[in-house]
Each structure stands twice: as C-alpha cells, then as structure tokens.
C-alpha cells in the first residue's frame, strides 16, 4: 500500500497528465461529422504510433551481448515505424481527396 | 542542455497531437492537422534518437535503429501509397496491429531485461518494483490483444477469415482474459520464482484472447472493432510512457485511447447500436442469419439494360445508393460518368450516402471524392430519406444491408434497429448486384422481392458502362 502511494506521489505529474488527456481526448473530437470518422480513426492510429519512441529507447539501451533484446528491439522499431509512417501517409491520401474539391 | 531540449521537443510533439486531432475533426483543416501531427512525431523521434540520455549515457545500437526506421518507412510508405481506397480499412487495422505488437515487444524486452540480470532467486523477484511490473504486464496484455485482434480484423475485412463462433464462446473468452489478469496480479503480489514462465503464459493467453475476441464478430461490425482496438493500442503506448517517464508517449497514447473510445461509441451510434450489442450480440448471430434465410423467398423481377436506361433518362430525379459492391468493382469513376450524362439530359442526380456505406463510416465519401463527385451531390441519410418520396428512380449499386427493410421490421434480424435508407418511398428501385447472394452481414434482403424493385445483375462497372452506352444511344 505504501509503495503504491509513494509511486503516486512520485509520479503525480504523469497522473495529472493522464486525467487531463482523457478529458481532452473526448472534448477534442466531440463534434466530428461522420464523414470524417474514417480519416480521424486513421489519424489517431498514426498518433499512437508514438510507441516507436519506446522501441527506440529499448533498442538503444540493449546490451551488445543480449541478442534476444536486440532482435526483438529491432523488430519493435520496424513495426513501430510501420505504424507511424504508414498511418500518416494513408491518412494524408484519404484527406487529399477531400481537399481537391474545395 | 540535451535533456532539456528533449523535454521541449516532447512538449512540442504533445501539442501537435492535440492540435492535429482537433483539426482532424473538421473537414476544412483535416489534412493540415494530420501533417502537423506527423511533423510533431518526426521531431519527437529525432529528438529521442539524438538527445535521449539515461543516467548520463546516450543510446547506442544506432545501426540497428536506423536500419529499422528505414525498413519501416519504406515498407510503410509503399503499402500506404499502393493500397486501393477500397482496402483502406484493412490497412488501418494492419497498421494498428503493428503498433500493438510494438508495445507488446517493448514489454517483453523490458521483462527480459529484468530477468537477464537476475540470479533467479525469490529474493531477486521480491526486490522488483511492483508498479513497474504492473505497467509491463499492462503493456503486454493490451498490446498483444490489440495485435492479435487487429490481425483477425484485417483477415476478415480482406475476406481471408470467416466468422467463427461456438456456444459459450464469450465465457471461454472471459476465462482467457480473466486468467491472464489474475496471473499478472498473482505475480505482482506473490513474486514466485517461476515468474518468467508465467510471463509467457500471459503473453500466449492474451494473444489467444485477441483472436477469439474478434473471430465471432460480423464483418459489418469490424470498423467498430478496429476503432476499439485502436484505442487499446493508444493505452498500450501510454504504458510505455509510464515505463520511461516519457511525456510524449503518455500524452499521445492517452489522447488516442480517450478519443478512440469516444469515436467507437460515435460509430456505434451511427449504426444505432450499443457497443455491448456489437461485441456480445454477435454471438449466435450466425444462427439468426441462418433462420432468416428460409423466409425471404419469392420471385424477383429482372430489368434489361435498355429498359433501365430509358427509365432513368426520362426520370426527373434519380438517387444513386452506392455500396461496397461499387467500390470493389472500382466503378466510382464510371458511376460519376453516368451521373454527368444523366445531368446533361436534365435529370437531377444525387447520391444517398448511408453513414456506414462501404466498410467504415465515411468510407464511401472518400471513394466518391476520389472519383471527383462534387460534395453538394452527396446527401446524408436523413436528407436522402426526405427526398426519396419525390424520387422517380433509385439506383442501388452494390449496396445491400443499408437498404434492408428487415432492419425496421424484423426484430430477430442481426441488423434490427439500424437506420436504413427508405428507398421504397421512391417510384422505382433498380438494384444492381452480382448475384442473389446475401450481403456482407450475411442476411437476406426482402427488398429484392418487393413489387417496386427490379434486379439488374452483373459487375457494377460493366453494368454502368453498358448503361452509359444505352443512355447515349437513346
């Protein structure tokens, strides 16, 4: 119990961020027209590709003799990049078509 | 200096995600919003590579990092550029699965890192920080479920995997996920020496759960599932944020987790269903669909191409109802041609777009925009339903479930309660389909047997081309 409370007070900044982001995430897309559901989903999909940062960190910290960590880390970097790059490019392609009309 | 610059980069990135999402919810700013978020992401990635420090040490293994980034970028760009607009939902699902797998791999490596330096004694495991373990397990479970589920969703949308359901499947599913969570809790509290073995058991159970969770859900509900898994991956990414005390991962992940959950609910609402209904209601849906099959018997009329051309050319108002069949046949351009031709002849032509036409909400709008159909010709469902009464001809192109009257009349139908396009209010309904096979949701459509309806069989593109020829010859 003490450990948990300690952890909370140590990480209170992070916990505040989580709480605020939950409300912000809901507010920010509150009035999206159904036309934009697909691009929005795809765009949000690209944003959670931010997990790539974690992949870069584990990859960059892996000891040279820890082959399992290196191989899995390398795989994680590839998959994370796929998520980010593919996500943004595919969203851009969708939205490009909307744009042409205006 | 380096570290504070990194902090600023993450702050900038977090702001771009919020701004990007905000702008993505408005048609006028959507594209810019996506680009801004992409820019912020690039800053965050570059800053991490060059500025990240842990206890005074920078990162190493640069060759691996850059090789991974390069491979991922090339493959990702090619895949995203090459994919047909019709296959868009599969693509999003696939990319989402990659993100989930990435989050799960991070947890695996971090756990491996913990055990790599251990002497395997109970004292060692007892010394690990509980909250850290909790975050690692959360990332592992959520990431694996998201990965496995997305892969199945991809396979289903791509037509590679069929619906599978067995009696009591949701109880078995609850067992899978329940045991995973219980095992994780057990490890965090009791710290057994067998922790590494249990870790991989949890991984396996989560993957299996992901598979069984998505398998029984009908293809028509797949967008909702993808959106849900999308928010799962967001939460998994946020776990990484806690693990590395990284604010960019945390804001990005939680933001998508929250926005994705709301979007999932909005999508359900567009289909007039609740999330529970989509997720649980699908179990046994196969049986209902089977029962319905015997009922919709009767005879249907066929109409010849030339008759169809005449009816449409001399109509005052034609409404086109496009569906996924149109998209599969890549006929959106041909359809636009027919629309122009009819407009030249003085016919008022409009498109009635059901919110879930295609495979995802808004998917059909993307496809028609690709074919240069102008915005003001697209009518949303409510408007369209008011206009059907004054419409002479409705031309249904490869749409099925969105015009199925069973959604209004048959409480046993899996799509009961979904709002539909009331095409029967119009004077004539012409339905183009490849065959009499049921639509994506696997249910029969009474509409085809109604007196106002007549069928025009064939591939959408071929039929439209022939129709254009006939109209020109009149």
Dump pLDDT digits (tens) for B60-89: 899 999 999 999 999 999 999 999 888 888
Mutation choice for B interface testing from A41, A66, A100 by most B CBs within 10 A: A41
Average pLDDT value for residue range B105-125: 84
Q: Considering only residues 10 to 49 of chain A, which have any Cβ-Cβ distance to chain B shorter than 8 Å? A: 11, 14, 17-18, 21-26, 28-49
Could you tell me the strand order of the sheet in which B453-457 lies?
B378-380, B348-353, B317-322, B393-397, B428-433, B453-457
Which residues of chain A neighbour B381 with C-beta distances below 8 Å? none
Whether residue B131 is predicted with pLDDT greater than 50 in this model: the reply is yes
Helices A12-28, B247-270: axis angle to 10 degrees equals 30
Q: How far apart are CA B448 and CA B454, in angstroms?
A: 7
Across the interface, do A47 and B69 touch by the CB < 8 Å criterion?
no
Place B275 in a pLDDT band, splitting at 50, 70 and 90.
confident
Q: How far apart are CA B133 and CA B187, in angstroms?
A: 9
Whether residue B472 is predicted with pLDDT greater than 50 in this model: the reply is yes
Token output for B451 = 């007196």
Tally of helices (H runs) and strands (E runs) in chain A: 6, 0
DSSP track, A49-97: GGGHHHHHHHHHH--TT-HHHHHHHHHHHHHHHIIIIIHHHHHHHHHHH
Q: Which CATH number fits domain B305-473: 3.40.50.1220, 3.40.80.10, 3.50.50.60, 3.40.50.1010?
A: 3.40.50.1220
Helices A67-81, B88-116: axis angle to 10 degrees equals 160
Whether residue B461 is predicted with pLDDT greater than 70 in this model: the reply is yes
Tell me the pLDDT tens digit for each residue of B350-407.
999 887 777 777 788 888 888 888 878 888 888 889 999 999 999 999 888 888 888 8
| pTM as predicted | 0.83
Which residues of chain A neighbour B355 with C-beta distances below 8 Å? 34
Domain map (residue ranges) of chain B: 1-82, 86-287, 305-473
Nearest to A7 among B20, B131, B372 (CB): B131
Q: Judge contact between B99 and A80, C-beta under 8 A.
A: yes
Across the interface, do B263 and A39 touch by the CB < 8 Å criterion?
no
Nearest to B101 among A58, A64, A79 (CB): A79
Mutation choice for B interface testing from A82, A92, A95 by most B CBs within 10 A: A82
pLDDT score of B123: 81
Q: Judge contact between B270 and B356, C-beta under 8 A.
A: yes
pLDDT score of B286: 42
Tell me the pLDDT tens digit for each residue of B392-440.
999 999 888 888 888 888 887 777 777 889 998 999 999 998 877 766 6
Across the interface, do B52 and A60 touch by the CB < 8 Å criterion?
yes
Place B194 in a pLDDT band, splitting at 50, 70 and 90.
confident
Chain B nearest C-alpha distance from A13 (Å) = 9
Whether residue B182 is predicted with pLDDT greater than 80 in this model: the reply is yes
Nearest 5°: phi and psi at B366? Answer: -60, -45
Give Dmax (Cα) for chain B: 89
Q: Judge contact between B203 and B69, C-beta under 8 A.
A: no
Of A75 and B216, the one with more pLDDT:
A75
Whether residue B343 is predicted with pLDDT greater than 70 in this model: the reply is yes
Place B296 in a pLDDT band, splitting at 50, 70 and 90.
very low
Which residues of chain A neighbour B245 with C-beta distances below 8 Å? 11, 14
Token output for B6 = 């990194």
- H/E segment holding residue B325: helix B324-328
**What whole-number percentage of chain B has pLDDT above 90?**
51
- CA torsion B225-B226-B232-B235 (nearest 10°) is -140
Chain A nearest C-alpha distance from B433 (Å) = 25
Residue B93's contacts (CB-CB under 8 Å, 6 or more residues apart) are B150, B153, B154, B157, B222, B226, B229
Which residues of chain A neighbour B62 with C-beta distances below 8 Å? 60
Place B294 in a pLDDT band, splitting at 50, 70 and 90.
very low
C-alpha dist (Å) from residue B266 to B19, B274, B275, B380: 21, 10, 10, 16
Average pLDDT, chain B: 87
């Amino acid at each position: 119990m003490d450990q948990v409370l300690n952890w909370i007070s140590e990480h209170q900044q992070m916990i505040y961020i989580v709480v605020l982001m939950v409300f912000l995430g809901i507010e920010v897309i509150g009035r999206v027209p159904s036309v934009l559901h697909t691009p929005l989903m795809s765009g949000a999909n690209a944003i959670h590709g931010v997990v790539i940062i974690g992949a870069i960190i584990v990859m960059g910290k892996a000891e040279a003799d820890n082959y399992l960590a290196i191989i899995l880390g390398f795989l994680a970097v590839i998959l994370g990049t796929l998520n980010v790059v593919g996500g943004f490019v595919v969203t851009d392609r969708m939205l490009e078509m909307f744009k042409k009309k205006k | 200096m380096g570290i504070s610059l990194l902090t600023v980069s993450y702050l900038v990135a977090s702001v771009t995600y919020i701004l990007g999402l905000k702008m993505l919810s408005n048609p006028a700013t959507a594209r810019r919003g996506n680009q801004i978020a992409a820019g912020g992401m690039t800053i965050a990635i570059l800053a991490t590579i060059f500025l990240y420090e842990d206890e005074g040490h920078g990162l190493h293994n640069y060759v691996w990092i850059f090789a991974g980034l390069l491979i991922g970028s090339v493959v990702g760009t090619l895949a995203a550029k090459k994919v047909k607009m019709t296959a868009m939902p599969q693509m999003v699902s696939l990319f989402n699965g990659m993100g989930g797998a990435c989050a799960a791999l991070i947890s695996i490596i971090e756990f491996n890192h913990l055990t790599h330096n251990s002497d395997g004694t109970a004292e060692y495991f007892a010394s690990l920080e509980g909250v850290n373990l909790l975050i690692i397990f959360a990332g592992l479970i959520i990431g694996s479920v998201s990965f496995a589920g997305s892969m199945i969703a991809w396979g289903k949308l791509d037509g590679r995997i069929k619906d599978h359901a067995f009696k009591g499947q949701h109880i078995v599913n609850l067992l899978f996920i329940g045991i995973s969570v219980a095992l994780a809790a057990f490890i965090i509290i009791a710290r057994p020496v067998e922790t590494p073995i249990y870790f991989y058991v949890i991984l396996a159970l989560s993957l299996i759960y992901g598979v069984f969770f998505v398998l029984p859900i009908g293809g028509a509900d797949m967008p909702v599932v993808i959106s849900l898994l999308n928010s799962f991956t967001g939460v998994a990414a946020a776990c990484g944020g806690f693990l590395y005390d990284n604010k960019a991962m945390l804001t990005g992940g939680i933001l998508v987790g929250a926005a994705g959950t709301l979007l999932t609910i909005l999508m359900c609402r567009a289909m007039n269903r609740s999330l529970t209904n989509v997720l649980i209601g699908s179990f046994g849906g196969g049986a209902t669909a089977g029962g319905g099959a015997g009922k919709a018997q009767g005879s249907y009329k066929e109409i010849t191409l030339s008759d169809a051309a005449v009816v449409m050319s001399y109509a005052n108002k034609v409404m086109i109802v496009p569906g996924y069949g149109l998209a599969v046949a890549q006929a959106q351009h041909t359809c636009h041609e027919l629309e122009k031709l009819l407009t030249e002849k003085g016919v008022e032509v409009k498109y009635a777009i059901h919110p879930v036409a295609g495979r995802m909400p808004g998917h059909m709008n993307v496809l028609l925009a690709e074919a240069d159909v102008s915005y003001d010709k697209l009518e949303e469902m409510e408007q369209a339903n008011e206009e059907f009464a004054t419409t002479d001809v409705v031309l249904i192109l490869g749409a099925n479930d969105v015009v199925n009257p069973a959604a209004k009349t048959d409480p046993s139908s899996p799509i009961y309660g979904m709002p539909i396009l009331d095409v029967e209010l119009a004077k004539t309904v012409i339905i183009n389909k490849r065959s009499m096979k049921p639509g994506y949701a696997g249910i029969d459509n009474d509409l085809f047997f109604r007196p106002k309806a007549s069928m025009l069989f064939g591939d959408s593109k071929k039929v439209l081309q022939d129709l254009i020829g006939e109209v020109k010859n009149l």
